Amino acid sequence: MTQKDKTNTAILISGTGSNMEALIKAAQNPDYPAKISLVISNRPKAKGVETARKLGIKVEVIDHKSFETREAFDQTLTNCLEAHNIELVCNAGFMRLLTKEFVTHWHNRQLNIHPSLLPAFKGLNTHERALQADVKITGCTVHFVRNDMDSGPIIAQAAIPILPNDTALTLKQRVLEVEHQLYPEALKLVASGNIRVVNENALISKTYEAAAPLFSLPLSR
């Protein structure tokens, strides 16, 4: 697969960028269908900025604090993405609520990963809430972005058991390990054209042989 055949992809970050790093490293495989050509951070001092540059990815910093309105920031974000001919956008710890206009513009072209089995535990403090609810299984979800927070057609999910001695920190670490496996596989599904959205359901092509493991990753213990 040549670079021209790959889907031109950008990653949005606000922090350490561990999922970003997992996506970049996966995309280094010559057969991977997405090319990570741009990372954008809304925080100049985000650790992920340095990581992306070390991995040879072009980085743009668009500080949201420099804009008077959310709309102005989002328009600048879109302008930057389009200037780099971006086809897909991956949120990877991007801690901004995006405007309706931005979400609509990137409809079915923007992915997000969330550390729970959506629709359970939307929003923040997911691991604490999972423990408080005494659920026995949690995990992570990759979905297309919609206007409502942590909603949209689900592309892929992976589950892990909650262990008796888990704390919010240990659970976070164990879920994050699975996130690093799931997100590259989910992006691969989308970039290869093996996902289509019908009536707000993300349908996987029957010819995609690797689809099953996305939903049944080995349970971590």
State in Å, rounded, how far the first CA of the chain is from the last one. Answer: 37
What does each of the 221 residues of the chain score in pLDDT, given as a tens digit?
Answer: 777 789 999 999 999 999 999 999 999 999 999 999 999 999 999 999 999 999 999 999 999 999 999 999 999 999 999 999 999 999 999 999 999 999 999 999 999 999 999 999 999 999 999 999 999 999 999 999 999 999 999 999 999 999 999 999 999 999 999 999 999 999 999 999 999 999 999 998 877 655 554 554 444 43
Which DSSP state fits 62?
Answer: -
Q: How far apart are CA 118 and CA 139, in angstroms?
A: 9
**Which member of 105, 107, 114, 143 is catalytic?**
114
Write down the pLDDT at residue 209. Answer: 56
Domain regions of the chain by residue span: 1-106, 112-221
Class of domain 112-221: alpha beta
Write down the pLDDT at residue 219. Answer: 42
Is residue 114 flagged as an active site residue? yes
∠ CA 74-60-180 to the nearest 5 degrees?
90
Write down the pLDDT at residue 71. Answer: 97
Write down the pLDDT at residue 218. Answer: 47
pTM: 0.93
Write down the pLDDT at residue 216. Answer: 46
- Do the domains spanning 1-106 and 112-221 agree at the CATH topology level? yes
10 Å Cβ neighbour count for 33? 19
Residue 144 and residue 153 in contact, taking contact as beta carbons nearer than 8 Å: yes
Write down the pLDDT at residue 220. Answer: 40
∠ CA 131-153-83 to the nearest 5 degrees?
110
Within 48-189, strands assigned E span: 59-61, 88-91, 110-114, 137-144, 154-161
6, 12, 18, 20 alpha-carbon torsion, rounded to 10°? 10
User: What CATH number was assigned to the domain covering residues 1-106?
Assistant: 3.40.50.170
